[in-house]
Amino acid sequence: MKLSGKVALVTGSSQGIGQSIAERLAAEGADIVVNYHSHPEEADTVKANIEKLGRRAVSIGADLGSIAGAQKLISDGVAGLGQIDLLVNNAGVEKNASFWDVTEHDYDLVMNTNLKGPFFVTQAFVKHLQGRKSGGKIINISSVHEDLPFPHFTAYCASKGGLKMMTRNLSIELAPLGITINNIAPGAIETPINTALLNDPDKLKALLSNIPLNRLGKPADVASAVAFLASSESDYITGTTLVIDGGLTWNYSEQ
């Protein structure tokens, strides 16, 4: 197993991509800090799934939109499982609205969850690693929309573009500490964030016509890439983005 003896924290791991990542890293031998915001029962199910694999798990609720919440998640995780070696910043939200209709509430929710949260959870994690004089790995679940425009999701794109630059900056600043940081950029994956789209046959058909591999991704498609970036097989990779989108991003052709 690739991750025996490691402890991973996966934010937003009560459902969707985060759940799949948490369970996959456990299957690779890691103990897991499960984190949720609004779904404690689902998080308990994920914790139980991990324990069935023979690994230790704790489930911790947190509001990652505040610095205090971010710091408490790291300290509670360390108190629960002794240490944290791998951080997966997965928690994220999106809001669909025309630019001129975006409210301060929704802007703050998106930016706080998708950018401020990862920023300060990562800061607290780095201080934990510094205290242990240990290296570590950080994997951010970004989006193809760290590069690709997505009209009506401008705050979301700004947050993911910010996450991309955070990763590039920190790859340089954290390298002397033996810490690597990379982004994974999923395209259209079957998860709760996409429920409205998945239930609209016309929108789904239009989306599939943009995906050369002609299917939506599965959470497991993302989790397998996280397992690689979390392992020592990726030791020389830092500051980059691995795109997992079935070819969506660069799909352009003329008949």
Active centre residues (catalytic): 156
Piece of 33-41, 56-64, 190-198, 219-227 that binds ligand BGC (CB under 6 A):
190-198
Residue listed under structure tokens 């991990």: 50
Smaller CB separation from ligand BGC, 125 or 153: 153
Least separation in angstroms between CB 84 and ligand BGC? 26
Q: In angstroms, rounded to a whole number, what is the distance separating the alpha carbons of residues 211 and 237?
A: 27
Q: How far is the CB of 179 from ligand BGC (least distance, A)?
A: 26
- In this structure, the strands spanning 7-10 and 86-89 are parallel
Work out whether 193 is an interface residue with ligand BGC (CB under 6 A). Answer: yes
- The 55-94 contact track toward ligand BGC, x by CB under 6 A, reads ---------------------------------------x
Size of the site for ligand BGC (CB under 6 A): 10
Q: Contact region for ligand BGC (CB under 6 A) — 37-45, 83-91, 100-108, 189-197?
A: 189-197
* Lookup: tokens for 83: 């240490």
Return the residue of 18, 118, 162, 187 that touches ligand BGC, per CB under 6 A.
187
> Which residues in 108-135 are b (16+ Cβ under 10 Å) and which e?
ebbbbbbbbbbbbbbebbbebbeeeeee
Ranges within 110-149 binding ligand BGC (CB under 6 A): 143-145
Q: How far is the CB of 210 from ligand BGC (least distance, A)?
A: 8
**Bridging pattern class, strands 136-141 and 57-61:** unpaired
Q: In this structure, which amino acid lies at residue 244? A: I
> Does residue 72 sit in helix, strand or coil?
helix
Q: Residue 27: phi, psi to the nearest 5?
A: -65, -25
- DSSP secondary structure code for residue 248 in this structure: -
Establish if 194 lies at the interface with ligand BGC (CB under 6 A).
yes
| Cross-strand pairs, 33 | 9, 58
Among 111, 188, 223, 243, binds ligand BGC (CB under 6 A): 188
**How would DSSP label each residue in 100-129?**
GG--HHHHHHHHIIIIIHHHHHHHHHHHHH
Contact code string over 150-179 relative to ligand BGC, x by CB under 6 A: x-----------------------------
* Residue ranges binding ligand BGC (CB under 6 A): 94, 143-145, 150, 187-188, 193-194, 197
